Amino acid sequence: MWHRMTPGRHTARSMQAVDGESQEHKGRWRRFIGPLALGIVMLLSVLGAAFGTYSASLRSGMAQIDDMAIHQLDLYASTLESELARYADLPGLLEVDRDIQSLFEGDRRPQARAAANRKLASFNVMASSMAIFLVDPRGAVLASSDAYRGDASAEVRTMPLFLAQALRDGKTGFFAADPFTGMADYYFAQRVEREGRFLGLIGVQISLDPLEATWVAMSLRSQSEEILVIDDNGVVIMTSVPQWKYRTISLLTPAERQVLEASGQYPPQTIEPLGMKVLKVLDRGVSMVQLPESKGEPKATPRSAQERPLSQFGWRFMIVSDLSEVANDAVFAAWSGGAIAGFFCLLALYLLQRRRAMRQLFDARNALQQANDTLEAAVVQRTSELRAANDTLIGEMQERQRAEEELLQAGKLAVLGQMSVGVAHEINQPLTALRALSTNTALLLNKGRIPEAVDNLKAIGDVAARMGRITAQLKSFARKTHVLHSAVSPRAAIANVCVLLEHRTTAEQVQVKVDVAEDLRVLCDLNRLEQVLINLATNAIDAMAGAEVRVLSISAHLCGDRLCLRVADTGPEVPDAVMARMFEPFFSTKPAGEGLGLGLVISSSIVREFGGKLRVGKAESALFFEFDLPIPKGAGNV
């Protein structure tokens, strides 16, 4: 039989070995997969944070550059418009001059032409323009501000083709570059007509080079933005980058290039494409473009371009901003975001490992507790004799309960005994006053001073009434009462307590503050409530023995359907270790012979019988005791 079972045992052992190896393999695989997945999640979190901060920083930087570009566009455009507006009305002012009118009306005398030349030269100097000239209907120059130079060609100058075409199109202003120097000039022209008959025109030539030179200087200083003015033909006529001047924004067909060269407005050798490429169109009309560098290098970084139309002239104003600083800031923000995300990932990993260690510790503690419970159960089973001891203990508990009831009364009498010295002092003073008043009254009666004797008798009655209130309150407090819950005024109970403790508060200079409404009512026993308040107030006065400020505060506030009473003092700070043992029987911080350590235990028991709970807490550095009592239905508490 034993030989038959042996193979089965070997088979079971081998199967258990295989299962153990399989479980160990699975455990190793899980231990490998867990950290790998966690590492992947942390890496993705860091990359996501870096990408998010990069995108947010890039958008913020782009928005700032766009806002600045809009402001700069308005500033530069208004400067250009105001510069041109200075000369817009000059041809109209020249037309009303008498010498110029006579020249247009047919006076071709040398004296008339000389007078007109002098007038034009004078106006040219005052207006700071390049030249002013008068042209007849055939295109011949009648007078010019340059005639004083003695240049014979000035007298026979003919009107350029682009000027004639502009006048036929009804234009009063147009751009034209000097064909030899490439300087940017602008012409204002006005037709002179009399009774529907064309007599000629007045032309004013101004130079835009000074304004363009300021743009070039500012661009060299800032190196972050470049300015372009593009006319209606798509040609850059003004720019802060000299290499871009008279280049076209878009590619030109041979026919379009031929038309531009034939117009005479631009130097023919410079009409070439600028090489601007629009990479992306963003919000608010902003475009990402690629332009050649200022030195004409083929490699270029993307830039932000923003336009503003100059509708009065048919031009476009464009500002191209450098984005390298924004890109650098975005890269720095991405590194910062990734670093912060990595820090939080490492912190999460630390907390996860700590939680795992705490869980292992908790499991070990549970196992130890379970073993302890098992051992305790075995001990209980083996010690059945404890049942008899438990019955005896129950009897002792009942006896203890009866003793506790007696202890409540004893505690009250103990408090009463503590107050006996002060009460004796309070009664001793009225007795002394009674003796003095009675002796004085007898003398007054013998002398026949009846009114004064009557006043002394009234004073004797007041003193006796005061003694009666003190003894009545002591008698009421000392009476042993049964638990009888009724509607009680907490304000009345506090008033009785203040009377009983008046000798202490006066002698120890304690200020009593009561914040309890008259119409509040609680469901309890008045005598026991006074006992709780006496205990708490006495402890508070004892705690403030060495304090500079001595304030005893008694307040009440509603907590739903219950009323919370609080007794607070301004005594020194109480350590947490002492607060934790406040309600332990026979625990006291007072010197030996001054307390049994039962006042708070008795008070807590009384409050518990009322259906509440006595609590201790700290308000700032001061200590307070608080307990809640039920409110009788229909009591009208507010």
Looking at the structure, do residues 187 and 279 belong to the same domain, yes or no?
no
Angle made by CA atoms 199, 202, 203, in degrees to the nearest 5: 145
* DSSP string for residues in 331-382: HHHHHHHHHHHHHHHHHHHHHHHHHHHHHHHHHHHHHHHHHHHHHHHHHHHH
Please state, rounded to an integer, the average pLDDT across all residues of the chain.
75
Asked if residue 312 belongs to a domain, the reply is yes
With cut-offs at 50, 70 and 90, classify the pLDDT of residue 629: very high
Q: Is residue 146 one of the residues assigned to a domain? A: yes
Q: How far apart are the first and last CA of the chain?
A: 92
Highest mean pLDDT among 290-294, 341-345, 540-544: 540-544
| DSSP string for 561-628 | TEEEEEEE---PPPPHHHHHTTTSTT---SPTTS--S-HHHHHHHHHHHTT--EEEEEETTEEEEEEE
Question: 627 and 486, same structural domain?
Answer: yes
- The confidence score (pLDDT) of residue 395 equals 75
pLDDT value of position 14: 55
| H or E segment to which residue 69 belongs | helix 2-85
Confidence bin at 264 (pLDDT 50/70/90): confident
Percent of the chain at pLDDT above 90? 5
Inside any domain, residue 136 = yes
Do residues 547 and 623 lie in contact, with contact meaning Cβ atoms separated by under 8 Å?
no
| pLDDT grade for 103, boundaries at 50, 70 and 90 | confident
Q: Residue 190: beta bridge partners?
A: 202
Calculate the alpha carbon distances from 157 to 146, 179, 202, 551 in Å: 11, 15, 14, 109
Same domain, 517 and 497: yes
Question: Are both 287 and 433 inside the same structural domain?
Answer: no
Residue with tokens 């032309």: 203
pLDDT confidence band for 540 (50 / 70 / 90):
confident
Tokens of 629: 């009592």
| 244: confidence class by pLDDT, cuts 50, 70, 90 | confident
Q: Given 480, 512, 547, which residue is the final one in a domain?
A: 480
* Residues 311 and 422 both lie in one domain: no
pTM recorded for the entire structure? 0.44
Q: Which structural domain, as residue segments, surrounds residue 547?
A: 481-638
Check pLDDT > 70 for residue 294.
Answer: no
Query: For residue 568, what are the β-bridge partners?
Result: 553, 624
pLDDT above 80: residue 26: no
Query: What digits encode the pLDDT tens for the residues 163-194?
Result: 655 556 666 777 877 767 777 888 888 888 88
Domain boundary among 480, 514, 545: 480
In a domain, 42, yes or no: no
Domain membership of residue 50 (yes or no) is no
Q: Are residues 162 and 235 in the same domain?
A: no
Residue 124 shares a structural domain with residue 266: no
In a domain, 149, yes or no: yes
pLDDT of residue 155: 39
- What's the domain count of the chain? 4
Fill in the DSSP letter of residue 222.
Answer: H
**275 and 396 both lie in a single domain:** no
Question: What local confidence, expressed as pLDDT, does residue 515 receive?
Answer: 92
pLDDT tops 90 at residue 478: no
Q: Is there a single domain that holds both residue 282 and residue 247?
A: yes
* Residue 30, pLDDT score: 63
CATH at residue 217: 3.30.450.20
pLDDT of 154 reads 41
For residue 327, the surrounding DSSP H or E stretch is helix 324-382
Clarify whether residues 464 and 503 are in a common domain: no
Query: Strand, coil or helix: what is 290?
Result: strand
Q: Indicate if 508 and 569 belong to the same structural domain.
A: yes
- Regarding whether 475 and 429 lie in a shared domain, the answer is yes
Which CATH number do you get for residue 589?
3.30.565.10
For residue range 72-86, what is the model confidence (pLDDT) as tens digits? 777 887 888 888 888
Q: Let me know if residue 382 belongs to a domain.
A: no
What is the residue type of 204? Answer: V
CB neighbour list of residue 277: distance below 8 Å, 6 or more residues apart: 289, 290, 291
Is the model's pLDDT at 149 over the cut of 90?
Answer: no
pLDDT at 283 over 80: no
Query: What percentage of the chain exceeds 70 in pLDDT?
Result: 73
3-state secondary structure of 35: helix
> Residue 554 has what pLDDT?
93
Distance CA 64, CA 347 (A): 35
Structure confidence at residue 637 (pLDDT): 58
Instruction: Mark which of 449, 480, 511 sits at the end of a domain.
Output: 480
**Within a domain: 330:** no
